[in-house]
Amino acid sequence: MKTMRAALRHVKKGLLYARDNKFKEAEACALQAIKYDQGILHSWHLLGIARDKLDDRAGALDAYERALALGPESSEIANDLGRLAYRMEMWPQAEALFRHSLALRPAAPEASNNLGALLRRQMRYQDAIDILRPSLMAHPAESILWVTLGTVLGDQGDADQAETFYAEALRLNPGYAKAMHNLGGVQFAKGSEQDGIDQTLRAIPLAEVPEDATMMRFSAGSMLLARGDLPQGWKYYAARLEPTFSEPVHFLTNRPRWQPGTEIAGRHLMIFGEQGLGDEVLFANALEDAIADLGPGGRLTLAVTERLLPLFQRSFPDARIGAHVTLMREGRAYRTAPFIKDWADVDYWAPMAALLEHYRPSVESFPNRPQGFMRADPVRVEHWREVLSQLPGVKVGLLWTSLIISTNRRLAFSPFEQWEPVLRTPGASFINLQYGDNAEHLEFARRKLGVDIFQPPGIDLKNDLDDVAALSAALDLVVGISNASFNLAAAVGAPCWLISTPRAWPRLGTDHSYPWYSQTKVLSGAKLGTWTDVMDETAKALAEHVQGGTRLAAAG
């Protein structure tokens, strides 16, 4: 009994520390309590909370599991363990834990919200609504439930209803930062750009946790860039590199990070490719500027996705280029460049997009390079021209989806059926550039529309990226959404038409031009998630260009 009382004294003391956000001290108290008595679930729960807040995921996982083993009827512990599993992308385990928590406390707001958020992340929208709605009916004053349900509705394209839900959350809790931020996002998407930006900026200092503030800064950056305010936009966009960013990549290097404006002439600069494969190509827009500033006495080392190596090596022959490797541990991504053995010789390193703040401070600073800034393999370009010469008419490459369609990207891709007016254009031969399993789409075009989309022989459209670039360069025109292959085509100078969502941030506030690739024309609908108008416009423009019949005409 003495040991139990001593343990509980340490738990009580630790809870006071935790209340004051002194989690290192709370962890020490929990460990002292466990020394006295390993059978008290409160000690393990406190240890889990402290380690969770200290970002010791493995330690927190072990502590929460021990606590739940001692108290399987604790809804709170099950919910806390579920939240950690969610962050570690252990989604089946997280779902089971949230459902266990709700079985113990039906319609509990926090567990309902967490499960709803998890289901939304998996785009199981109706399942999320089925969890959130009963909880909201039981707890109508819980503003967090209004926000999460509004987010689910917004993901499905119902911006008006989402806006109503966010407004209700703010009525209930006027200082609720998440509701303010989400409302700003809807306002921006609906065209009230300044209101959306102002709302988002107001939310940042009100954020309850650093992770939320980081996410809001990143959102503000995307909005500012989309409106064309590049100086402020790039500054806020840098939030993607903060350790509190959702799913950050940790770059493993001990060299100083280059800051915009730092002199690099004669220095050795190392650059990590970042984000998706298409982003690595997009952000390479500024590499020639960095090489020029390094000068003849400087050196550039570049780490990119392995599949991009041949294209980058040909395009930037004076740089040392190798593959980066990304490892996952405890739900975190760590990126390294194992081909670099001489890190001590590197003066600075930078994530690739960091170059943009310095070299692309305005739309006008993007150079006019209709030939592109990367170089396709000329031998393979000639090969594909010979293959394509067997097809009649204007040769048009098609791209319509992405392998990564997350909750915030699903409205950026039209259903394939919406392409019908484009595919019915007479005088055009359509060539498939779309990677992934698209047999169903190709069969739809053949069976329903009578259109045979040409499948290029002997090429893996997902992995043979150097050959995809060469194939694209041999085409008269590439039409599609922005995915990795579209960026490859545009970077090597293929005439491109980008079918875009309204106010997409890479458009940088422009209308029909695309600063990254000066030979690219943009076609966009007026409202996110609606495609009829833009597809009709694309079909009409394509018919006009097919009549012109030349590659130059196709460039728009």
CATH of residue 397's domain is 3.40.50.2000
Tell me if 330 sits within 8 A of 57, measured CB to CB. yes
Q: Which of 334-343, 357-366, 518-527 has the weakest average pLDDT? A: 518-527
168: confidence class by pLDDT, cuts 50, 70, 90: very high
The confidence band for 137, taking pLDDT boundaries of 50, 70 and 90, is very high
Residues 530, 383 within the same domain: yes
Shared domain check, 383 and 351 = no
The pLDDT tens digits for 375-406 are 999 999 999 999 999 999 999 999 988 655 54
- In angstroms, the CA 541 to CA 277 distance is 30
pLDDT score of 150 more than 80: yes
In the block, tokens 């839900």 appear at: 165
Spatial CB neighbours of 417, under 8 Å, sequence gap ≥ 6: 444
> Does the pLDDT at position 351 exceed 70?
yes
- 379-394 core/surface letters (b: 16 or more CB in 10 A; e: else): ebbebbeebbeeeeeb
Tell me the pLDDT of the chain averaged across its residues.
93
Secondary structure letter of residue 204 according to DSSP:
G
Measured from the Cβ of residue 2, the count of other Cβ atoms closer than 10 Å reads 8
- Kindly provide the residue ranges of all beta strands, DSSP E only, lying in 298-427, ordered along the sequence: 299-304, 320-323, 325-329, 332-336, 348-351, 394-399
Asked if residue 414 and residue 351 are part of one domain, the reply reads no
pLDDT at 496: 98
Confirm if 519 and 544 have CB atoms less than 8 A apart: no
What's the rounded Cα separation, in Å, for the pair 185 and 192? 10
Q: Is the pLDDT of residue 355 over 60?
A: yes
Distance of alpha carbon 501 from alpha carbon 478, whole angstroms:
17
Final residue of a structural domain among 292, 323, 357: 357
Q: How far is CA 435 from the centre of its chain?
A: 19
Assigned token pair, 239: 């939030």
Here the CATH number for the domain that contains residue 167 is 1.25.40.10
Do the domain assignments include residue 233? yes
**Count of H helices and E strands in the chain?**
25, 12
What is the structure's pLDDT at 549?
Answer: 62
Mean pLDDT of 17-41: 93
Q: Does residue 314 form part of some domain?
A: yes
Rounded to two decimals, what is the model's pTM?
Answer: 0.90
Q: What percent of the chain has pLDDT over 90?
A: 84
pLDDT tens string 83-116? 999 999 899 999 999 999 999 999 999 999 999 9
Q: Could you tell me which of 66, 356, 143 has the C-alpha nearest to residue 231?
A: 356
Given this model, what pLDDT does residue 146 score? 98
pLDDT at 411 (0 to 100): 61
Tell me how far apart the alpha carbons of residues 250 and 454 are, in angstroms, rounded to a whole number: 41
User: Do the Cβ atoms of 474 and 499 come closer than 8 Å?
Assistant: no
Q: How far is CA 358 from CA 290, 307, 316, 550, in A?
A: 10, 28, 20, 38
For position 402, what pLDDT does the model report? Answer: 63
Distance, in Å, from the CA atom of 41 to the CA atom of 448, rounded to the nearest integer, reads: 63
Tokens of 101: 């928590």
Helix (H, G, I), strand (E, B) or coil at 431: strand
Whether the CA torsion 275, 280, 281, 283 is positive or negative: it is positive
pLDDT digit string (tens) for 447-479? 988 999 999 999 999 999 999 999 999 999 999
Strand 477-480 relative to strand 394-399: parallel, antiparallel, unpaired? parallel
Given a cut of 90, whether residue 414 has pLDDT beyond it is: no
Range of the domain at 162: 73-174
**Which pLDDT score is estimated for 24?**
96
Of 324, 357, 390, the domain-final residue? 357
What is the distance between the alpha carbons of residues 67 and 74, in angstroms, rounded to a whole number?
Answer: 9
* Whether 524 and 382 share a structural domain: yes
513 with 531: CB under 8 angstroms? Answer: no
The answer to whether residue 364 sits within a structural domain is: no
Is 365 among the domain residues? no
Which residues are CB-contacts of 413 (< 8 A; sequence separation ≥ 6)? 400, 401, 402, 405, 481
Per-residue pLDDT reduced to its tens digit, 187-205: 999 999 999 999 999 999 9
Kindly state whether residue 529 falls inside one of the protein's structural domains: yes
**Residue 362 is assigned to a structural domain of this protein:** no
Q: Are residues 520 and 450 in the same domain?
A: yes
In a domain, 369, yes or no: no
Same domain, 272 and 166: no
Indicate if 256 and 215 belong to the same structural domain: no
Nearest to 269 by CA among 248, 297, 250, 249: 297
pLDDT score of 408 = 52
Position 331 scores a pLDDT of: 77
Q: How many domains does the chain have?
A: 5
